[in-house]
Amino acid sequence: MTENDNKTILSFCVSLDRLAQKSESSVYDVEEFYNSVFEFGAQCLAESQDFSDIERDSIKQSYPSAVEKSAKFAAEIIQHKKLNQLKMLLSSIEFLIKDIYEIFKYFSLNDCPKSLTQNISLLQEKQENIKKMLKSIKNEEGDDDDEIPNLNGIPESHDWWSDKDRKSTTKEESK
């Protein structure tokens, strides 16, 4: 594990704790959290990671609350997103309810609150809504504001990212 991976894990845990501990969360707070999830997923989930005790505790204690707030604001966050922003959100939700959920279950010895499974189901519904939106959106040529994020580390199972998107990321890095 590299030093950069350690920083990404720590940054994700800080973001997780920050969202979970806020008594009043906003769309902005949840969007920041989703960005952190995307970075963590892309950089750290492809290979086995070692988590410190503090990071394990953070995930065990804060994940259920962060998922609840993520589900609560998901519909609002989806509004007014451009194509690649929706794809990025879709990847973040996928990491959150699949990969990070598995990490949470491992650390919590499969002790999952019922509310957590309900919120994950809600996020799965939002995921399906986003996928339907993606099918209906046509990416207009010349939309320079709709930047493709760095897709290194994004699994092929995130098939909403096209080969063209993935190649675009590779070209940017080789410049």
| 141 class by beta-carbon count within 10 Å (0-12 exposed, 13-18 middle, 19+ buried) | exposed
Compute the distance between CA of residue 32 and CA of residue 38 in angstroms, rounded to an integer: 10
pLDDT tens for each residue of 49-60:
789 999 999 999
More confident residue, 80 or 58: 58
| Domain positions in the chain | 3-137+146-165
The secondary element (H helix, E strand) that includes residue 56 is helix 53-78
pLDDT tens for each residue of 25-57:
999 999 999 999 999 999 888 777 789 999 999
Compute the distance between CA of residue 18 and CA of residue 38 in angstroms, rounded to an integer: 16
Contacts of 82 (CB under 8 A, 6+ apart): 143, 145, 146
pTM over 0.75: yes
